[in-house]
Each structure stands twice: as C-alpha cells, then as structure tokens.
Amino acid sequence: MSRKLTYDTYLFGAAVLIVLIGMVMIYSASAIITMQKVGSDNPYYFFLRQFVWLVAGGTLGVMLMHVDSARLRDRRIIYAIGAAVLLALVIALFQPPINGTHRWIVLQHFQLQPSEFAKPALILFLASYLARKEERINELTSTLLPLACVVALFAGLVLLEPDFGTATTLVLVAAGMIFAAGISWTRVVTFALMIIPAGVLLIFSAAYRRDRLFTFLNPEADPLGKGFQAMQSLIALGTGGLRGLGIGNGRQKLFFLPEPHTDFIFSIIGEELGFIGAAALIALFAFLVWRGFRVTRLSQNRFDFYAALGFTLLIGIQALINVSVALCLLPTKGLPLPLVSYGGSSLITSLIAVGVLLNLSQQSG
C-alpha cells in the first residue's frame, strides 16, 4: 500500500503565525510615519501594500506546495530561472539610484529587488549541482572552481549594487550547502584563508562599511550621528521590559528609530511586546528552522536534501543576522526579518522558501 503524502502542518503553522505577527507589527510600526515616508495620510498604506504582496507570495507559495517535485529538479527550469535573475541583477545596476544604491527595478506601480530572488535561484542551482557532483565534491577543477564561479557571479552582481548584507547571506548559505556535501577540511581551510581576507578588504574598501564597523565597536561615541540607529534600537528593546508597552504604544517608531517597519521591526516588537513577545518570535523561528532541518534529514533524494537545507539556512541565517543587528551584536545591515519585515520582494522570497519546504516535506518520512 502506498504511503499517503502529507505536508508538515507544524512548519506551515509556524510560518503562518510569523506572517500574522509581521502584518500586525508593520501596521503598528508604520501608521504614524506614513506621511513622512510617502506623503500619504492613509495609516494603512504600508499594511495594505504588504497585504497585496502577501496574497501574491501566498499564491506562489501554495503553487509551489502542490507542484510536482520533479519540476523543481528540472535543470532546464533551474537554469532558466537563474539566467532570468542574473539578467534582472544586471538591469538593476542601470536603474536610477534609490538612496544611493541600484538594488531595484522600478516598474509603474511597484519595485522589484532582484537580489532577493537571487537567493532561491542560487539555492536551486546549488541543490541540482551538488546532487550530481557530491561524489566528486573535493575535485578542484571539475567541481569546486565552476561552483565558486557561479556563487561569485551572483554575489558579485549583488555587491555592485551595493548590498554587502545580501551578498554575505548568499555566500553563507552556499557555504553551508557545500559543507554538507562533504567537502574536506583541507578545502574548507583553504577557501577560508581566501575568503576572509577578501571580506576584510571589501569592508575597508568602502567608507560606509568602515563606518558601520567602527560604529558597531563603539556606538556610544556618536549617539546622535553614526551610532543613532544602534542606540535607538537598544532604547526600544530596553523600554519594552518584560511584557512591553502594548501594541501601538511604542515610542521609538515616532521618528526616532529609522525604518521601524523594515530593517528594525524586531526592535519595535521588543518595545511593544516586550521580552516575552520577542522571545516568542525567536522561538517560532527556531521551531520553523528545526522543522526545516527535519525535512532535510528525512529527504528521499539528494536534490531534496540540498534544497531543503538551503531554504532552511536562508530563513535561519537572515533571521539570525536581523535580530543580531537589532541587538547590536552585529554591525548594521539592510537585511529584512523573513516573513515579518515590510517589503514585497523579501516577503515573496520567504514564502517561496516556505512553499518549497512544504512541498519537500511530503516526500519525507
């Protein structure tokens, strides 16, 4: 008798709860500042736009839940997606700058951020490549160099925008997937000795990156200037105490904390929901990541293993970095909190990750 295929309802439930928390907190964090940000007196402006993206991303996620998993493994589809994303990354570089960066393709009624879609595209490519090459993972010329070139191409185009945080995320996810393929420690040390100096050089090659690093080391030195974001984030988290000020009652979103509905939404969650609410959200992310690793462990074929691992790492690494930045444990980066922060491209990418994980969970035991 054939085994009945079912989705991981626990993973689905955790993702839904995180999205609902995000929608509530986006409204709470953005209602007051809408006029300043977009010149609109509609307090639901950001909430409604995020809801539209939620419907679009949710529809795509549901489609990915039900699509034949063989299509996810189809190399022609994977290469077509990768080529389209690479083209979009190049097009973005020639778009008019927004806040001094070339991260968006501006369309008539909305903007797309190709670097967000580079994440699932690269993960699918790596899953397909590693599934075929894992027996020869330590061969330098036939396996590792082509793999490094593809990762460098995606990360390099993102760096040109510039977007150091997203490029770092791509490299970290790729490194985790390659490590799981069984790469030898000799290769790991060799690549680390190459990548770490390159990363340090990149940090010190741009003034704003140097400033972020030095500000991270001593944010109190310039609390009203370069250290303003970090200090306001800590004030928000500290003000929340154990139980928070209550939804809608936060004060740091009132023109103190920059981007309270995007990069620093976790700080607002800590202020309004307190330590209990912030810890509960972290616990939900930890639970979702655990269920993702469970899908990985129980995968029936190598592509599913690497794809599940990649999308789980994507959610986990981004959440870890965003929360660490809010807590001033890492230098400031423009990485959104998955499924929570305002942003259409980010939300759709996160829902793609959840949709693929739910699809692959059917094949697990």
**339 in Cβ contact with 350 (< 8 Å):** yes
Per-residue model confidence (pLDDT) at position 362: 85
Burial (0-12, 13-18, 19+ Cβ within 10 Å), 365: exposed
DSSP state of 39: S
CA pseudo-torsion sign 42, 45, 47, 52? positive
Burial (0-12, 13-18, 19+ Cβ within 10 Å), 55: exposed
- Has residue 1 been placed in a domain? no
- Has residue 2 been placed in a domain? no
Dist CA 248 CA 268 (whole Å): 10
- Has residue 131 been placed in a domain? yes
What kind and span of H or E run contains 112? strand 111-112
Dist CA 75 CA 92 (whole Å): 26
Dist CA 226 CA 215 (whole Å): 6
pTM (two decimals): 0.92
- Has residue 4 been placed in a domain? no
Query: Residue 324 phi/psi, 5° resolution?
Result: -65, -40
Per-residue model confidence (pLDDT) at position 321: 94
Per-residue model confidence (pLDDT) at position 221: 66
Whether a cis peptide bond, with omega within 30° of 0, leads into 331 is no
For residue 239, what are the domain limits? Answer: 9-361
Domain total in the chain: 1
Per-residue model confidence (pLDDT) at position 2: 40
**338 in Cβ contact with 315 (< 8 Å):** yes
**156 in Cβ contact with 164 (< 8 Å):** no
- Has residue 27 been placed in a domain? yes
- Has residue 3 been placed in a domain? no
Per-residue model confidence (pLDDT) at position 309: 96
- Has residue 181 been placed in a domain? yes
3-state secondary structure of 106: strand
**229 in Cβ contact with 264 (< 8 Å):** yes
Radius of gyration of the chain, Cα coordinates, nearest whole angstrom: 20
What pLDDT tens digit does each residue of the chain (365 aa) get? 344 568 889 999 999 999 999 999 999 988 888 877 776 778 888 899 999 999 999 999 999 998 888 888 999 999 999 999 999 999 999 988 887 788 888 887 778 899 999 999 999 999 999 999 988 888 888 888 999 999 999 999 999 988 888 999 999 999 999 999 988 888 888 888 888 887 778 777 777 777 777 777 777 766 766 778 888 888 889 888 899 899 988 888 887 888 888 889 999 999 999 999 999 999 999 999 999 999 999 988 899 999 999 999 999 999 999 999 999 888 887 789 999 999 889 999 999 999 999 999 987 65
DSSP state of 221: G
